[in-house]
Structure 1
């Protein structure tokens, strides 16, 4: 009887319902240039607002998936994590800035909430608008908070860090069911907690594990129309379906395969559509949800809901008995970038600006030139210390530098300032970088050492104003004493202790803008220019204004320099940041300051004086008979640097160490010739319209440059002459040196010079001899000689107005007047001819003929060969 009664009772118990499988059919993808998006919200009209994290904007798609608008987030917004919508208002969580933004439908800022409940700093990471309340997750305080929408300021929070019911370990995405109950994803506790509209804790669902139906790294949540709940898992890539707070299965394809995403985070449902944000794939998958009527496959039976090793398993997933290893996996899952990103995408901490974009330090997960980029055997000179573990075949991986277990001396794993992101060693002043890159170590004093094989950009330079002038260890240039430029600071670069220059002042291990791991791209030496503005120029005109070597110029012909083919002049054409010749200003290996310039300026270089004469350039590589002082330096041997300072030249000059326009540069060596200043041979005093043969206005060419060019002369023209152009049309036998004078002293000349008609002296029938120091003669080649013919320079010194040139200055005084030349001035060498060779022939008439040499009446009958 008892058995029958028991059987009847069992028959009266309703059987457990057979639940149908939930199927998602692919409908479309929303992409639109997304970079690590995190959340999506759908308006009543079907427009989808996708939070594009790294781009700091909202991409708006219509119901058909077409991109319709791009709304930039307000300035100062860090990578946002969640978006909610109510009517025409958008709510955006900006946890790094500790605020919630309120925007209109066009992205305009209406208001910002800066909640500080209990006067504690918050990090709102997820949002939900429900029943006139704005619910939000505080990942910093591990709390669930709600603010009244009517004033937006009245806030109440609950929870705190812990594993007990109602407490959280990083609350994240939120959803609400039809009754107004709030569902909050509890990321590291691997569960979803439920709260009544008044905030009272109501239970939880989900348990930690790797099996289907369990949660490992839950993120997104969406409530279905029938009350079911879908939860995304950022690690496993699956979507778990819960009904009556029990896991019932996975979202599947029509053919029964579970849906797998790269890293599903935010989710939302609109009508029969499910929007899944796949952060690692940079898109939003839109699925149409259906119930295909077939029963859902049973879920496997897992272990106990609580595992004492859960905190370890959250990273060391391979320790779980349920873990299925991937074939040919290069490292254990704990060292995969995906494991790190599953927390660092914003749910726990946001590292997307560094890990999600730009160039990353080489690891075995990347490849360069077809080989693993993290191959430590590729190091040419440096060894990776044993303190930094390597994967198989000596390859770098994330855990080579990072570990969550050590508290290195002087560094906090996750302190208030987050100064040491779980590094194996405190990276004070780039100490960790230099452990592996020892060959890149350079102290400021290394320039003076002779035992180093290569020179690197100095480290340790203090970028502050020195306590006294030329203090040791401080930057020499004033522009470098202001600290790191703002452009580099904004790119994440920084200085070390006491404002010292360190590796991270130029390089970024994660998220570098340029290669190799540079904080800014190096096109056109952009990175160098951020600090070295004074050495930069926009173009040739700007370079002349600054007095520096031009950069950014495309060469007419490429050159080889330091083993590189140079097609455009920039900083790196002449400087090698990490492989420079010791004892130089970071010049390429095998080059020094003397040998560098000829690589591009071969035309201006000469082996010796003879070679210079052939080329028509100023001699270089020549030792002076007597040293001279130039710009405060003693010059004993001429080279390019004697006259040029590539980066510190005088403003308004072609990178010269002294002004050339007023003759200061040339005067250092040619002091006697500088005495033509203010005379009629000072052609710079003539109108600017007058030009020399190089088309340069005499006014701009300067005191000496009107007639001489240091680098652009012609071998057939002596003295680097580039003065007024004149085709000498004269049948008389002329010396080339006389032609230089006659280029101005002819009829119709452009400087109103005195024309000279009678200028030749018989010489073919005579043997003339003179002291070259007093009245020089010219030989048949036009060179000064003791024996030869009379030329213009025999009687005239073109740089001295009167014999002895006393006073040294000439005839012009502030351009107020001009002294007419006489037979006792007019650039004559001497006033009397006592003891000269003229007296040998002309006797007492010598002085008269000397003073009236160009007067036909004083010349007498000419030989027939002068006609």
Structure 2
């Protein structure tokens, strides 16, 4: 059958390829003060975008046996990158975690939804440690799942004897490998928990309220140099603490004016120390300096390059590549920020 198909199909495949009109690549760029700029690089949403281009014979086999069943983003939420440059995206819609390795042209999907013990059902946010171990919060299970860089399950932090999780709704997570600490927000408790690497609680930060150091449904968090940044969602701001949990300052306010936040979701820091905050409802990313002044924003509601629908996760790597999880569009958008050469000390993500 394969030989017969080989005799019949080449002309059809060639004709289809010849008649296919190449799509015009989208372009998006924002020029900023001082020669800075932000350029849209690409979208990605599927395992197929990581794999090498399939040759003629692979495509011929696809005709006979069927095309590969590639994984794709369903309802992506959180994002980070490890030291190898792999992009790690949580996907509560698929009950798993996608690992995109564009450099090695590899892809992996981590899941545990069928497990009788410590099943991972709703992965929320993600972080990595210095060894590239992967830490994933599960908002429904109430646990933190730890995986090796290969994706092999290691353990669940917060797993109780009855099978339930200790945390009410763990969301944001960050790992301080040097000090051997794990920071995690418990959204329904309005607190940040500080754990050792074995999962023992060392400290809690915050309580319910609207004052300095108080939270109303905190979500994502990020470590940056000596600081801990927490998205205080329903207080419509980002609060900044030192690593010991002492309040330093806040960015943002409620309202519909410039610099206000309506539904902040995630935060990250660029090499110059500026704060990027995703606002899901407005479909934009706002950029503030450390004095809380709005520098600029980018994005709008839509489906084209530089447009978002319910964006959620955000991560900026050491090369100032800005990754935005465009959740309702079921994709990740990648931008390149080009700023000044002098970086702010302690601005490591």
* 1:98 equivalenced with 2:146 (yes/no): no
1:53 aligned partner: 92
Q: Given that residues 239 and 259 in structure 1 are in contact (C-alpha distance below 8 angstroms), is that contact kept between their aligned partners in structure 2?
A: no
Alignment CA distance shift 1:84-1:73 (3 Å): farther
1:81 aligned partner: 124
Normalized per residue, the structure richer in strand is: 2
Report the alpha carbon displacement of residue 175 of structure 1 after superposing the two structures with TM. 1.1
* 1:238 equivalenced with 2:279 (yes/no): no
Report the alpha carbon displacement of residue 65 of structure 1 after superposing the two structures with TM. 9.7
Higher relative contact order (CA 8 A, sep 6+): 2
Structure 2 residues not aligned, in runs of 5+:
1-31, 47-71, 300-304, 342-349
Q: Secondary structure at the match of 1:102?
A: strand
1:141 aligned partner: 189
1:283 aligned partner: 331
Q: Secondary structure at the match of 1:188?
A: helix
Q: RMSD between aligned alpha carbons? A: 2.6
What CA distance in whole angstroms lies between the structure 2 residues aligned with 1:121 and 1:222? 24
Alignment CA distance shift 1:63-1:20 (3 Å): farther
> Of 101, 108, 119, which residue of structure 2 is paired with 1:62?
101
1:27 aligned partner: 41
Q: Given that residues 167 and 186 in structure 2 are in contact (C-alpha distance below 8 angstroms), is that contact kept between their aligned partners in structure 1?
A: no
What CA distance in whole angstroms lies between the structure 1 residues aligned with 2:340 and 2:309? 25
2:239 aligned partner: 193
Alignment CA distance shift 1:157-1:168 (3 Å): same
Q: Secondary structure at the match of 2:262?
A: coil
Q: Given that residues 28 and 65 in structure 1 are in contact (C-alpha distance below 8 angstroms), is that contact kept between their aligned partners in structure 2?
A: no
What CA distance in whole angstroms lies between the structure 2 residues aligned with 1:161 and 1:262? 30
Deviations 1:265-293 (A, max 9, x none): 11111122011111111111111112499
Q: Secondary structure at the match of 2:278?
A: strand
Report the alpha carbon displacement of residue 72 of structure 1 after superposing the two structures with TM. 2.0
The 5 Å alignment of 1:741-752 reads none
> Of 202, 207, 218, which residue of structure 2 is paired with 1:160?
207
2:11 aligned partner: none
Alignment CA distance shift 1:29-1:73 (3 Å): farther
Report the alpha carbon displacement of residue 122 of structure 1 after superposing the two structures with TM. 2.7
What CA distance in whole angstroms lies between the structure 1 residues aligned with 2:166 and 2:320? 41
The 5 Å alignment of 1:747-826 reads none
What CA distance in whole angstroms lies between the structure 2 residues aligned with 1:52 and 1:244? 31
Deviations 1:644-688 (A, max 9, x none): xxxxxxxxxxxxxxxxxxxxxxxxxxxxxxxxxxxxxxxxxxxxx
What CA distance in whole angstroms lies between the structure 2 residues aligned with 1:111 and 1:78? 15
What TM-score does the superposition give when structure 1 sets the normalisation length?
Answer: 0.30
Q: Given that residues 212 and 249 in structure 1 are in contact (C-alpha distance below 8 angstroms), is that contact kept between their aligned partners in structure 2?
A: no
What CA distance in whole angstroms lies between the structure 2 residues aligned with 1:124 and 1:92? 9
1:109 aligned partner: 153
**Bigger radius of gyration among the two:** 1
What TM-score does the superposition give when structure 2 sets the normalisation length?
Answer: 0.71
Report the alpha carbon displacement of residue 264 of structure 1 after superposing the two structures with TM. 1.5
Q: Given that residues 235 and 263 in structure 1 are in contact (C-alpha distance below 8 angstroms), is that contact kept between their aligned partners in structure 2?
A: yes
Report the alpha carbon displacement of residue 67 of structure 1 after superposing the two structures with TM. 5.5
Deviations 1:5-45 (A, max 9, x none): xxxxxxxxxxxxx9648632111222011011001110111
Q: Given that residues 231 and 239 in structure 1 are in contact (C-alpha distance below 8 angstroms), is that contact kept between their aligned partners in structure 2?
A: yes
Deviations 1:242-301 (A, max 9, x none): 112323333448xxxx954111211111122011111111111111112499xxxxxxxx
The 5 Å alignment of 1:305-704 reads none
Alignment CA distance shift 1:60-1:120 (3 Å): closer
Deviates more, 1:65-74 or 1:204-213: 65-74
What CA distance in whole angstroms lies between the structure 2 residues aligned with 1:267 and 1:94? 18
Deviations 1:181-233 (A, max 9, x none): 10000111110001111111212111112233221111110111111110010
Q: Secondary structure at the match of 1:129?
A: strand
Deviations 1:334-367 (A, max 9, x none): xxxxxxxxxxxxxxxxxxxxxxxxxxxxxxxxxx
1:124 aligned partner: 170
Deviations 1:120-161 (A, max 9, x none): 753211101124211010011011111012x22133212122
Q: Given that residues 78 and 325 in structure 2 are in contact (C-alpha distance below 8 angstroms), is that contact kept between their aligned partners in structure 1?
A: yes
Alignment CA distance shift 1:264-1:292 (3 Å): farther
What CA distance in whole angstroms lies between the structure 1 residues aligned with 2:243 and 2:313? 22
What CA distance in whole angstroms lies between the structure 1 residues aligned with 2:332 and 2:167? 32
Q: Given that residues 250 and 292 in structure 2 are in contact (C-alpha distance below 8 angstroms), is that contact kept between their aligned partners in structure 1?
A: no
What CA distance in whole angstroms lies between the structure 1 residues aligned with 2:34 and 2:282? 23
Q: Given that residues 37 and 339 in structure 2 are in contact (C-alpha distance below 8 angstroms), is that contact kept between their aligned partners in structure 1?
A: yes
2:316 aligned partner: 269
Q: Given that residues 96 and 121 in structure 2 are in contact (C-alpha distance below 8 angstroms), is that contact kept between their aligned partners in structure 1?
A: no
Q: Secondary structure at the match of 2:234?
A: coil
Alignment CA distance shift 1:20-1:261 (3 Å): farther
Alignment CA distance shift 1:292-1:202 (3 Å): closer
Q: Given that residues 24 and 251 in structure 1 are in contact (C-alpha distance below 8 angstroms), is that contact kept between their aligned partners in structure 2?
A: no
Normalized per residue, the structure richer in helix is: 1
Q: Given that residues 115 and 122 in structure 1 are in contact (C-alpha distance below 8 angstroms), is that contact kept between their aligned partners in structure 2?
A: no
Structure 1 residues not aligned, in runs of 5+:
1-17, 294-867
1:38 aligned partner: 77
What CA distance in whole angstroms lies between the structure 1 residues aligned with 2:207 and 2:36? 35
Figure out how many residues of one structure are paired with residues of the other and give that number.
268
Q: Given that residues 268 and 274 in structure 1 are in contact (C-alpha distance below 8 angstroms), is that contact kept between their aligned partners in structure 2?
A: yes
What CA distance in whole angstroms lies between the structure 1 residues aligned with 2:219 and 2:335? 23
Q: Given that residues 127 and 136 in structure 1 are in contact (C-alpha distance below 8 angstroms), is that contact kept between their aligned partners in structure 2?
A: yes
> Of 256, 260, 271, which residue of structure 2 is paired with 1:214?
260
What CA distance in whole angstroms lies between the structure 1 residues aligned with 2:289 and 2:340? 17
2:216 aligned partner: 169
What CA distance in whole angstroms lies between the structure 2 residues aligned with 1:247 and 1:192? 13
What CA distance in whole angstroms lies between the structure 2 residues aligned with 1:186 and 1:238? 17
Alignment CA distance shift 1:220-1:274 (3 Å): same
Q: Given that residues 145 and 155 in structure 2 are in contact (C-alpha distance below 8 angstroms), is that contact kept between their aligned partners in structure 1?
A: yes
Q: Given that residues 94 and 101 in structure 1 are in contact (C-alpha distance below 8 angstroms), is that contact kept between their aligned partners in structure 2?
A: yes
